[in-house]
Amino acid sequence: MGNSNRPTWDEYFLKLAMLASERSTCPRMHCGCVFVKDRFVLATGYNGSLPGHPHCEDVGCLVVDNHCVRTNHAEINALTQAANHGVNIKGATAYITNMSCTTCAKALIAAGIIRVVVFSDFHDTLATQFYTGSGVEIVKLDMPDRMIKYDIEKYSSAKKTDKSK
């Protein structure tokens, strides 16, 4: 019997992007991004401050033209993680919680991303125009189920911790 709750591959990797976004440090926006090729996760990112720099959560946002510029966006942080580890993302799919801004779209296109899977819009940007004009396939899905179905009673060999002890 099939499990109707089983996510598709696209939903699965989008949920990983949602999980990455939990690490975001800017209260104005939480985004996550995962690069995947042949069902293999190449890099992950979320919007956050530069290494060693303070977080928006702690010192407030740094707003210029109504955008917080303190953080690198999720896509850029995934790109820099790939660069730091010498991972080629050419031909990969980018799973992103929110549609890119124009700058991130251009960076992903130049890095060779060929497909973008996303569930939420961002501000008005030229991202869709740049992606489409570069032959990048855009797939918009409904937001995947936000529950993680880790049914410890039914499927897991792990045992519940008895907190009474």
> What residues make contact with Zn ion under the rule CB under 5 A?
26, 56, 61, 68, 70, 73, 101, 104
Active-site residue, 75 included: yes
Minimum distance of Zn ion from residue 36's CB (angstroms): 19
Specify the residue, 19 or 68, whose C-beta has the smaller distance to Zn ion.
Answer: 68
Minimum distance of Zn ion from residue 133's CB (angstroms): 18
**What is d(CA 34, CA 36) in angstroms, rounded to the nearest whole number?**
6
Q: Give every CB contact of residue 28 below 8 A, 6+ residues apart in sequence.
A: 56, 61, 68
**What is d(CA 21, CA 18) in angstroms, rounded to the nearest whole number?**
5
**What is d(CA 28, CA 57) in angstroms, rounded to the nearest whole number?**
10
Locate 95 and state its tokens: 């799973």
Specify the residue, 12 or 125, whose C-beta has the smaller distance to Zn ion.
Answer: 125
> Which entry of 11, 75, 137, 153 is annotated as an active-site residue?
75
Minimum distance of Zn ion from residue 89's CB (angstroms): 16
Q: Which residues are catalytic?
A: 75
